[in-house]
Structure 1
Amino acid sequence: MSRKSSRHIVIVGAGAAGLMAARELARAGTRVTILEARERCGGRIHPLPALQFGYAADGGAEFVHGEAPVTRGLVREAKLSLEAIEGRQWMFDGQTLSREDRHDPHEAELHAVLRELKNDMTVADFLHLHFAGDEYERLRHAIGRMVQGYDAADPERASVLALRDEWMDGGHSPQARIAGGYGTLVDYLTAECRKHGAAIRFGSVVSAIEETGGVASVRCRNGDVHACAKVVLTVPLPLLPEISLPQAVRDKAAAAADIGFGNVIKILLRFERPWWRDRKEGLGDLTFLLSNETIPVWWTQRPSERPVLTGWFGGPRTAELSGLDPRALIGAGLDSLAAIFGLARHDIARDLVAGVATNWAQDPFARGAYSWATPRTRDAQAILSRADGAVLFSGEALYRGRDMGTVEAALASGLETAQMILRG
């Protein structure tokens, strides 16, 4: 191995995991090159132009979930701040808007069964085994809605043990936003990487990784070849089959089939004014709004009074809208709002200033939103996290903590991977 390549680490992907790993490696004196397919950093963190929405809206990841120690530490380090989510959750049952009653008469029974559960199984099997009766219909519906909408997961495959903590606190762990959006954190990490000498190559779509004589070579579609000692793959799981890998690495990557990966459709609508606050129901405290409409979940920017509503549709059922382009998705969002609020669509559309819709499954460098655990995921993560060979895997899908699939998960995984390389 040449001296030049022996000190060189190539990181594939400039999302949260890749940037975090690169920053740690570069400031330890390691030569680092980040290869990013897009023309920007951030990956599934996607800040939208401030002129479009009146602020740096998040077209991708938006919330800081739970304790998130790595994220919060970076926020402090970057001298940024967090805004706690305020307000109440409402629901629309097809006829009436009301504040959601989160209490279920069978909640204590659910928690008791979960506490005693020793063997993992899918969510669907768990509900069939323990809560199959008609009296549990509301509980099953609430759990199914949370698994598909919040976790973007398939109840037929999702691990009940991985979701147990989420259910035990009602699925409402503390949430906040970064003031200025996640893009500010990406900008900080990007500047840190460059300050410590890491190179970032945009438009670098990796097509193959080879290993010969102890030297790894990363080939890009544009013809560039980067020799290095190690490669850190941080791309979303659905992209792994698109990269030619050495056979041993390909065998290792096969474990990713045991990790779920879900999709999200996200729609941001900016209006001339926050018209929903004028409703007779008294929606001044509205944060989240749940329904069974085509775009079922909506939220405001509270505590900010910005006239923006964000629509969210997650899980396997997003495939039903796979044929819709962004304009049609915005139309589906307006139809859903019209049904929820009992208004004519054209009345809502008349106040629309800007709209952006993203079906993350159609993004060529994401192919979906984020990962979730199956009963076999922990074993798969252990395989993918091994430090053997020249090719390492990192990213939110490999995080073994509670909030898998989050930005925190990506940052923590990138940090862990960098530390593993530095120890080696």
Structure 2
Amino acid sequence: MADNSEHIVIVGAGAAGLMAARELARAGRRVTVLEARDRCGGRIHPLPATEFGYAADGGAEFVHGEAPVTRSLAREAGLTVRAIGGAQWSFDGTDFSQESPRDPYDDRLHATLKDLTEDVTVADFLHRHFAGPEYARLRHAVERMVEGYDAADPARASTLALRDEWMNDGLAAQARIDGGYGGLIDYLAAECRNCGAAIHLGATVASIEESGGKVAVRCAGGAVHACDRVILTVPLPLLREIALPAAAREKAAAADDIGFGSVIKILLRFTRPWWRERKPELSDMLFLLSDETIPVWWTRHPDWHPVLTGWFGGPRTAQLAHLDPQGLIDAGIDSLAAMFSLRRDEIARDLVAAAAANWANDPFARGAYSWATPRTRAAQEILVDPDGSILFSGEALYRGRDMGTVEAALASGLETAGIILRG
């Protein structure tokens, strides 16, 4: 029979941590959540609606694909998940076009991917099958998608893990939650508290120790939480910053075989949608891709908020690691000015509000989200093994298709809670 007096400490109040906490607290377990930030949500970061005209997201924003756990939770919370449409445009340095650089090669690319049986890195895949100069545009387009959409390094990223995304156009099936992901986090946090879970903010975990069948979780401020089990839901890079018992430390080393990407996100709110005035053909624009410093932009289409969101993902973001938020905002304005043949001051004078984050510089994230290498599935099996009193959970450990998403985090938290409850 399950021991309902069992005390479980969950490190991290992001989507995975809160989901696990709610399930365990509902089942009568004593649950304590320790969160280093002064807010819940982790890499979900709501921004003030007063600044952007709607509940903007400084972190995770889109609902990808079917996302059954996310959609079910949203319904429970009374939130609407709304599909979004619109066109994907590209800027080649001279003109705007809806043609993808991949279009002329798609049939061969899909056929080659379909026949692939051995997993290789994306760089190796392109070198083996599309090495000639006639494929230069295809290689560039694929590498930029891997970097920009997956925040991954083509030299390490798994081709098989990305195959479904390429075959099914990963940018196509997108949705947003009305009011942003913040509403989902608020609901989960309230549910946790209503079920008796304690959530401690500003609690940075420094070490976890085991002795005599008990576990002690020590915080940087000196607080110690004795418990029976711990669930670590922190982003992968932070596993290196928490002192762990030998067995857990050995298990955590498997995380080195899981990629973890960096992302820069910039939100710019203007007095009016000047890009539609400048280029009326862009009235249906959702995404805009280019080779500018900030290479990806999107709109709120079909909503008419005059907001552009800039995005730069992957290892090349290290080039901008020295910039503070204002420096990133300036880089975004410069990129837009170059694409639309405007002076930067013409764009800047219409700016009402702006926010920017380089998630690699965030001390409680050290990056944005995970991606698969050819060795990731084996690493995940090691990390999700339930043996021992320290368990690992989070978006990086989700073994479904949409690893790295909020859906992945929620599903992983649910799975980890289930392991404990079934044990």
Tell me the TM-score normalised to structure 2 length: 0.98
- Answer yes or no: is the 8 Å Cα contact 1:6–1:229 preserved in 2: no
- Answer yes or no: is the 8 Å Cα contact 1:396–1:404 preserved in 2: yes
What amino acid maps onto 1:73 in structure 2?
A: S
Structure 1 distance, partners of 2:258, 2:122, is 15
Deviates more, 1:147-156 or 1:45-54: 45-54
- Answer yes or no: is the 8 Å Cα contact 1:272–1:351 preserved in 2: yes
Structure 2 distance, partners of 1:412, 1:102, is 35
- Answer yes or no: is the 8 Å Cα contact 1:249–1:391 preserved in 2: yes
**Aligned counterpart, 1:383:** 382
Partner of 2:103, secondary structure, is: coil
Q: Percent identity?
A: 73
Shift in Å, 1:45: 0.1
Structure 2 distance, partners of 1:109, 1:174, is 23
Deviates more, 1:105-114 or 1:240-249: 105-114
**Aligned counterpart, 1:266:** 265
Describe how 1:159-198 pairs up with structure 2 within 5 A: 159-198=158-197
**C-alpha deviations, 1:362-387, integer Å up to 9, x for none?**
10000000000000000000000000
Shift in Å, 1:110: 1.4
Structure 2 distance, partners of 1:402, 1:184, is 25
- Answer yes or no: is the 8 Å Cα contact 2:4–2:29 preserved in 1: no
- Answer yes or no: is the 8 Å Cα contact 2:26–2:195 preserved in 1: yes
**C-alpha deviations, 1:87-123, integer Å up to 9, x for none?**
1111111111222347622211111111111111100
- Answer yes or no: is the 8 Å Cα contact 1:98–1:281 preserved in 2: no
**C-alpha deviations, 1:300-349, integer Å up to 9, x for none?**
00111001000000000000000001011100000000001110100000
Whether 1:394 aligns to 2:383 is no
- Answer yes or no: is the 8 Å Cα contact 2:34–2:200 preserved in 1: yes
Structure 1, unaligned stretches of length 5 or more? none
**Aligned counterpart, 1:27:** 26
Shift in Å, 1:283: 1.4
Structure 2 distance, partners of 1:212, 1:173, is 51
Change (3 A) 1:250 1:131: same
Describe how 1:99-248 pairs up with structure 2 within 5 A: 99-101=98-100, 104-248=103-247
Shift in Å, 1:229: 0.7
What amino acid maps onto 1:221 in structure 2?
A: A
Structure 2 distance, partners of 1:367, 1:39, is 17
- Answer yes or no: is the 8 Å Cα contact 1:218–1:227 preserved in 2: yes
Structure 2 distance, partners of 1:160, 1:421, is 34
- Answer yes or no: is the 8 Å Cα contact 1:6–1:228 preserved in 2: no
Shift in Å, 1:79: 1.1
Whether 1:45 aligns to 2:44 is yes
Partner of 1:77, secondary structure, is: helix
Whether 1:291 aligns to 2:284 is no
Structure 2 distance, partners of 1:86, 1:161, is 27
Structure 2 distance, partners of 1:411, 1:341, is 40
Structure 2 distance, partners of 1:244, 1:193, is 27
Structure 2, unaligned stretches of length 5 or more? none
**C-alpha deviations, 1:165-185, integer Å up to 9, x for none?**
011113334100000000000
Describe how 1:39-78 pairs up with structure 2 within 5 A: 39-78=38-77
Tell me the TM-score normalised to structure 1 length: 0.98
Change (3 A) 1:29 1:76: same
